Amino acid sequence: MKNKLLLTASAAAQLLILPLLLNRTQLTQLTLSTWALIAMALCLAWVNVSRDLRGLLPALVLAGIGAWGTWRLLPLALAQIALAALLASQNLQKPLALSGWQLEVAFVQLLLLAQLNQLITPQALLAVTFVTLPPLVAQWTPHLPWWATLASQVLIAGLAVWQQSFTWVTAAIALLCGTGLSVKHRQLPPIATVWAGVLISLVDVWTHLHG
């Protein structure tokens, strides 16, 4: 049970850290709808870890509350619940399961950013995209030559710097995480992908705060 709670906390951190810290000035005045979407994200993290589909029932209710007054967000919220159900109910191979979770994370983050900002800005979209890509691409490059794996991660990091989404420090951390996940995929547990996403998010926000 303790292990499941730790894994759930890690998954929840990956879902929530980036959108909440990007909007840290609003954390003292979150609306009921935003709190509902945060709670929905916690339910999805639990379902991902426990594979207990009963966790989707409160997620459905919370999705409705979270989209109250901004109904255009409801289809996106319901799509994430459907994806969580698919990931939890199917015995997917590791790369597919972890890729599905990375997509879940990205769209939940966009959902929260849309709720917090009333729209998804290009900067927020780029931030989510470039934080998601290193661990996502790493799931599909283990069988490539090492130079191809490295090249794919260098390309992602370079594009992120070019678009001013990453600082050089964040790009270096993302490059190390993405390459490490790919090269050491057999030795690393699935939770390593989650921790990589958390680390990249934290470094991204921290470096933009402190230059």
Range of 1-10, 56-65, 110-119 with top mean pLDDT: 56-65
- For 64, 95, 128, 139, 204, the CA distances from 17, given in Å and listed in that order, are 22, 24, 11, 22, 11
pLDDT confidence bin for 187, thresholds 50/70/90: confident
| pTM score, whole prediction | 0.93
User: What H or E segment, with its residue span, contains residue 164?
Assistant: none
Q: Note the pLDDT of residue 69.
A: 83
For residues 79 and 37, give the distance between their C-alpha atoms in angstroms, rounded to a whole number. Answer: 13
Is there a contact between 80 and 114 (Cβ–Cβ < 8 Å)?
A: no
Which residues, including other chains, have CB under 8 Å from residue 131's CB and lie 6 or more apart?
18, 174, 197, 200, 201, 204
pLDDT confidence bin for 121, thresholds 50/70/90: confident
Q: How far is CA 193 from the centre of its chain?
A: 10
For residues 206 and 101, give the distance between their C-alpha atoms in angstroms, rounded to a whole number. Answer: 24
pLDDT confidence bin for 2, thresholds 50/70/90: low
Q: What region does 119 belong to: left with phi over 0, alpha with psi -120 to 50, or beta?
A: beta
Q: What is the mean pLDDT of residues 79-93?
A: 94
pLDDT confidence bin for 74, thresholds 50/70/90: very high
With 90 as the cut, is the pLDDT of residue 210 above it? no
- For 30, 142, 149, 177, the CA distances from 42, given in Å and listed in that order, are 16, 30, 33, 25
Is there a contact between 203 and 173 (Cβ–Cβ < 8 Å)?
A: yes
Average pLDDT, the chain: 92
With 80 as the cut, is the pLDDT of residue 186 above it? no
3-state helix, strand, coil in the chain (%, to 5): 80, 0, 20
User: Which of the two residues, 184 and 39, has the higher pLDDT score?
Assistant: 39
Q: What is the mean pLDDT of residues 142-159?
A: 89
Poorest-pLDDT segment among 24-28, 38-42, 95-99, 152-156: 24-28
Residues in the chain: 211
